């Protein structure tokens, strides 16, 4: 399978490291032999029709700052849209910084990829939260696969769980903690750190967006709420439909006051008729009272009651795991195998 990687920040760099470290296992267990036909970063690209040397790509990116410095395959003067159209590939894997104002350039990249007949995996929230079903519809029309499980919950398979739950029951509502950065800050406020020191630490740990105001103001949470709502309820909601309040007003005193009552403050997103994101006091024993950069979502099911999923919600290697999950899922749909073919195993339906 030939891949084009758009972006080579923490997420796609981690993806390259995983592909290298798990090369044999991915081939033997899943029949996946990925060839990296191109990697584009903010300063250029590296391209090779035979597949780039992944180890060398990682070395050059880490030591020189851009894949454009790779020899002989690096180029500084490339247009990402041309690479998407012209480089032969089965799939585009996009993980550039999220833009929640216009969705660009990710929106144009994904559209171009689908128009060029490429399947797409993305971890980008902007295009999905701003344009509702535009991209999934475009993919459907063209008979292509478009997956974005890394856009909600980092590596925690929140969208995948929702899809599985919806098969056997009906999700009637959900509530969750969707942002690792703000959850980290709120947890650290409880531990006595200042807001600024906690934000600095969240940035250093790679949780925050390139513009951390997106996290602090609740917009990142709202974008994930939109993506999950559209997936769960089949709506065409957009970011502007969510009532959003961030965590700027949460002080150490408010956190201490909540703690005295056995409660914690968490930035909660609520899906349903009145989608909203706001800091809320919740009991310390609530399944949503997760700590550090964790995310958690409780789904209310019509017949089965509530189901909660929690796990790390941010970070390069975590989100890279979600990309690989999506790549393997599409690979299976294109005729690869997943899970491993085992002639001795009972015949069961393929898990997707
Ligand atoms: N900035 C995001 C967060 C990254 O803190 O959750 C994952 O989407």
* pLDDT tens profile 12-33: 999 999 999 999 999 999 999 9
Domain 159-312 has CATH 3.30.360.10: yes
Distance CA(205)–CA(292), nearest Å, equals 11
**Contact predicate 100/130, CB 8 Å:** yes
pLDDT of residue 348: 46
pLDDT of residue 59: 98
Catalytic annotation present for 125:
no
pLDDT of residue 339: 61
Can you read off the two tokens belonging to residue 134?
A: 């535009």
CATH class of 2-154+316-333: alpha beta
Q: Is 94 in the pocket of ligand 1 (CB under 6 A)?
A: no
Q: How far is the CA of 218 from the centre of ligand 1 (A)?
A: 11
Q: Is 318 in the pocket of ligand 1 (CB under 6 A)?
A: no
Quickly tell me which residue has 């989100």 as its tokens.
Answer: 319
pLDDT of residue 341: 54
| Same CATH fold assignment for domains 2-154+316-333 and 159-312 | no
Q: How far is the CA of 37 from the centre of ligand 1 (A)?
A: 28
CA-314 nearest atom, ligand 1: 7
pLDDT of residue 342: 52
The closest of 90, 123, 96, 94 to 111, measured between CA atoms, is 94
Cα dihedral 100→104→108→114 (10° resolution): -40
Number of Cβ within 10 Å of residue 35's Cβ equals: 16
pLDDT of residue 9: 95
Distance CA(251)–CA(94), nearest Å, equals 37
3-state secondary structure of 2: strand
Question: Which residues have a Cβ under 8 Å from the Cβ of 162 and sit 6 or more positions away?
Answer: 171, 174, 228, 231, 232, 299
Q: Give, for ligand 1, the residue of 10, 198, 207, 321 to mutate: max count of ligand atoms closer than 8 Å to Cβ.
A: 207
pLDDT of residue 347: 44
Q: Could you state, in chain order, the average pLDDT of each consecutive group of 10 residues for the chain (352 residues)?
A: 97 98 96 97 97 98 98 96 98 97 98 98 98 97 97 96 96 97 97 96 93 97 98 96 97 96 98 95 98 97 97 94 97 81 47 44
- Enumerate the domain spans of the chain: 2-154+316-333, 159-312
Q: Give, for ligand 1, the residue of 209, 213, 294, 311 to mutate: max count of ligand atoms closer than 8 Å to Cβ.
A: 209
């Amino acid at each position: 399978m030939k891949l084009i990687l758009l972006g080579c920040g923490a997420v796609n760099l981690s993806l390259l490291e995983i592909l290298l470290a798990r090369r044999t296992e991915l081939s033997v267990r899943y029949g996946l032999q990925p060839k990296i036909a191109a990697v584009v970063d903010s300063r250029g690209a590296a391209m090779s029709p035979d597949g780039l040397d992944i180890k060398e790509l990682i070395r050059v990116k880490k030591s020189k700052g851009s894949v454009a410095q790779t020899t002989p395959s690096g180029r500084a003067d490339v247009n990402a849209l041309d690479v998407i159209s012209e480089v032969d590939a089965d799939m585009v894997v996009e993980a550039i910084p999220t833009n929640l104002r216009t969705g660009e350039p990710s929106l144009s990249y994904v559209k171009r990829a689908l128009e060029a007949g490429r399947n797409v995996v993305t971890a980008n929230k902007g295009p999905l939260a701003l344009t509702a079903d535009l991209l999934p519809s475009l993919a459907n029309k063209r008979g292509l696969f478009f997956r974005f499980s890394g856009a909600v919950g980092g590596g925690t398979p929140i969208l995948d769980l929702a899809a599985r739950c919806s098969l056997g029951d009906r999700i009637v509502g959900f509530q969750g903690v969707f942002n690792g950065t703000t959850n980290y800050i709120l947890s650290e406020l409880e531990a006595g750190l200042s807001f600024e020191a906690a934000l600095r630490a969240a940035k250093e740990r790679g949780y925050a967006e390139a513009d951390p105001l997106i996290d602090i103001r609740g917009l990142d949470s709202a974008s994930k709420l939109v993506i999950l709502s559209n997936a769960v309820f089949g709506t065409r909601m957009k970011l502007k439909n969510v009532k959003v309040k961030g965590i700027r007003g949460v002080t150490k005193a408010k956190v201490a006051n909540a703690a005295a009552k056995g409660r914690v403050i968490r930035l909660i997103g609520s899906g349903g008729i009145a989608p909203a994101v706001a800091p809320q006091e919740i009991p310390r024993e609530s399944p949503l009272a997760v700590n550090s950069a964790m995310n958690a979502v409780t789904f209310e099911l019509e017949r089965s009651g509530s189901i909660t999923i929690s796990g790390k919600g941010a970070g390069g290697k975590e989100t890279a795991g979600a990309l690989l999950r999506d790549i393997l899922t599409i690979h299976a749909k294109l005729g690869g195998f997943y899970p491993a073919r085992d002639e001795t195993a009972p015949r069961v339906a393929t898990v997707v």
